Amino acid sequence: MGEQEHRESIGRIEIAPEVLTTIAHYTTLDVEGVNKLAPVPADVSRLFRRAVRHDGILLNYTEGKLLFDIYVFMNPHVNVLETSQKVQAAVVEAIDKMVGIPVDAVNVHVEDVLYALDETA
């Protein structure tokens, strides 16, 4: 029996969905321009009852496809489109690097831009 065959037969590895949402959570917060995660809207939560939720992250894993919906508040004076694309790329890379699971989609929902009180005047 070859070494590769031996490795595949020693057991299985399971990764809890909460691990994936935690990785996405901290990766998103590390992207410059993201202020904080926004709550997942209640109407969306009802639609995806079987999905895993974690502080602004909704993870749906069906038919072998990994899909993230990430709800964020952005900082002012950032390019929202570019920052959202950075979130997408960062989450895909982090999940791939840390657990080796391919991500099918990362949908970024920008819920608002948060200004400091002195910036709104």
Confidence label for 92 from pLDDT (cuts 50, 70 and 90): very high
Beta strand 57-62 pairing with 105-113: unpaired
Nearest in space to 113 (alpha carbons), one of 63, 67, 66, 78: 78
The CATH code of the domain that includes 62 is: 3.30.70.1350
Cβ-count burial 29-45 (b if 16+ within 10 Å, e if not): eebebbbebbebeeeee
Position 10 in a domain = no
Q: DSSP characters for 47-72?
A: HTTTSEEETTEEEEEETTEEEEEEEE
Position 89 in a domain = yes
Number of domain units in the chain: 1
Position 74 in a domain = yes
Position 9 in a domain = no
Position 6 in a domain = no
Residue type, 40: V
Supply the pLDDT for residue 50.
55
Confidence label for 65 from pLDDT (cuts 50, 70 and 90): confident
Residue 9 has pLDDT above 70, yes or no: no
| Range of the structural domain that residue 100 is part of | 21-114
Non-local CB neighbours of 101 within 8 Å, separated by 6+ positions = 15, 20, 66, 95
79: β partners: none
Confidence label for 89 from pLDDT (cuts 50, 70 and 90): very high
Supply the pLDDT for residue 71.
96
Position 12 in a domain = no
Position 59 in a domain = yes
Confidence label for 111 from pLDDT (cuts 50, 70 and 90): very high
Segment 11-41, tens digit of pLDDT: 988 888 899 999 999 999 999 999 999 998 8
Position 61 in a domain = yes
